């Protein structure tokens, strides 16, 4: 059964930069630059029929392309020992509109509604026993980070296979946004 998620690809140069930033903390395992993305909706394992329905349903999204900017960093969970280091995004009504449209279509396909609040972020590293002081210094030192704006002109349905060294993602289908 395929394990699926919907995401936006990040420009290659920005992925390389974010991968480098993910190495800045002891105990951090940076996400491979080729795997960096912005998840819009994690779907999980579905059978082949549902996967086909999802692929077809996402064709019904006809929205304009829009700009995004990466800004600031943070970690999850926010009040416990940090396990994930992430880059944030500037507020975007267009991003939320796309994500909400995807959510409605997936629910119409028969998937359960996502219960977690959408918190747009780009995972850049997994943390294990990273010193809180170093995480705090990293966050404070990069609080004003802001990337150049980039244009989002497609979103992608990915399948994911869990491997020893992490997940391997395969683009199943790309969906264009209107320019």
Given the structure tokens 């392309």, which residue do they identify? 65
CA pseudo-torsion sign 41, 44, 49, 51 = positive
Q: Of 19, 62, 75, 121, which one is the catalytic site residue?
A: 121
pLDDT per residue rounded down to tens, the chain (179 residues): 789 999 999 999 999 999 999 887 999 999 999 999 999 999 999 999 999 999 999 999 999 999 999 999 999 998 889 999 999 999 999 999 999 999 999 999 999 999 999 999 999 999 999 999 999 999 999 999 999 999 999 999 999 988 877 778 999 999 999 86
Known catalytic residue at 62:
no
Known catalytic residue at 169:
no
In CATH, which superfamily holds the domain spanning 3-176? Cyclic phosphodiesterase (3.90.1140.10)
Q: Comparing C-alpha atoms, which of 154, 151, 152 is closest to residue 172?
A: 154
Q: Of 37, 62, 75, 169, which one is the catalytic site residue?
A: 37
Confirm whether pTM is higher than 0.85.
Answer: yes
């Amino acid at each position: 059964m395929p394990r699926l998620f919907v995401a936006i690809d990040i420009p290659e140069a920005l992925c390389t930069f974010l991968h480098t930033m993910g190495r800045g903390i002891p105990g951090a395992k940076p996400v491979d630059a080729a795997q960096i993305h912005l998840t819009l909706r994690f779907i999980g394992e579905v059978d082949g029929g549902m996967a086909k329905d999802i692929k077809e349903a996402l064709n019904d999204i006809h929205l304009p392309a829009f700009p995004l900017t990466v800004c600031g960093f943070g970690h999850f969970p926010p009040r416990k020992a940090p396990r994930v280091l992430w880059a944030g995004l500037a507020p975007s009504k267009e991003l939320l509109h796309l994500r909400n449209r995807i959510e409605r279509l997936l629910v119409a396909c028969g998937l359960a509604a996502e219960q977690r609040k959408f918190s747009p972020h780009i995972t850049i590293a997994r943390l294990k026993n990273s010193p809180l002081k170093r995480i705090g210094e990293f966050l404070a030192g990069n609080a004003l980070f802001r990337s150049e704006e980039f244009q989002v002109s497609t979103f992608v349905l990915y399948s994911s296979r869990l491997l020893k060294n992490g997940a391997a993602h395969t683009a199943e289908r790309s969906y264009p946004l209107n320019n």
